[in-house]
Amino acid sequence: MDNGPALVDSHCHLDFPDFDGERDALIARARAAGVTRMVTICTRLRNEPAVRAIAEAHEGVFYAAGTHPMSVADEPMATVDQLVAIAQHPKMVGIGETGLDYHYTAESAGAQQESLRLHVEAARQTRLPLIIHARDADDDMARILTEEHRAGAYTCVMHCFSSTAALAEAALDLGFYLSMSGIAAFPRSAELREIFRAAPLDRILVETDSPYLAPPPQRGRRNEPAYVAHTATVAADLFSLTPAEFAAHSSANFDRLFWKAA
């Protein structure tokens, strides 16, 4: 393992069945790749106990909890009190993921917007960062995030950002962060890389969103936290930094936003 600055996988799904039977091994592989911390994300609140247990069992693993927008129609609506109560756990470090997905689940747009606003209020009350999923909903996403920020400040990361420059600008104007996933390393993602290149370095995080979206040279395989190092190498090149320099910057950004995991 390199003795340089450590990386953080700011968004993964360690509870997914893709990792059954090998969580200890994949966490060990992540550490060997220089990834010393990771945030595993609960997407349905009924699964929160299992996600929490993974974080409790492993040093350097933290968790966030919320209702994924694609699950809103199938799950009980989360309440602010419920989210605030879960957030009292010392390893629970973020609210979400929440957001809007009109690509697959446009029919539940109204419920998604209601759920998003509830998650925003929980983020305000807990001072924990909001974790946003956005797909094919840029106008509503920018509008709601801006309206809610005017009503009371909160912090936020646009997870696995792959939307338009306009949404990136709206998020950055609110003081939010953009997170690079393996998508940003795909050969066809030159336009997305330019969006990241134009963003302030102190607002950039990296993630895997594993088990999805493995970056080259692992593309086509199941993703895992160790592979965030490949995306970080692409990010370093974008900002004309060495990998160690980028690791130091992105880890400092993570610590600023995810203050409970610092």
Helix axes 190-198, 165-173, angle to 10 degrees: 20
Q: Flag whether 58 is marked binding.
A: no
Strand order in the sheet with 35-42: 7-12, 35-42, 61-65, 92-101, 130-135, 156-158, 177-180, 204-206
CA dihedral 167, 169, 175, 180 (to 10 degrees): 70
The single-letter DSSP state of residue 2 is: -
Q: Flag whether 149 is marked binding.
A: no
Q: Flag whether 209 is marked binding.
A: yes
Six-digit token string for 229: 């190092």
First to last CA, the chain: 21
Q: Flag whether 20 is marked binding.
A: no
CB 91 within 8 A of CB 55: yes
Q: Flag whether 107 is marked binding.
A: no
Distance CA 56, CA 90 (A): 9
Distant-in-sequence, close-in-space partners of 182: CB < 8 Å, separation ≥ 6: 208, 209, 213, 214, 215, 216, 219, 223, 227, 230, 231
Q: Flag whether 119 is marked binding.
A: no
167: phi then psi, degrees, rounded to nearest 5: -70, -40
Question: Measured on CA atoms in the order 158, 67, 60, 210, is the torsion positive or negative?
Answer: negative
Binding residue positions:
11, 13, 97, 133, 159, 209
Binding residue positions for a divalent metal cation:
11, 13, 97, 133, 159, 209
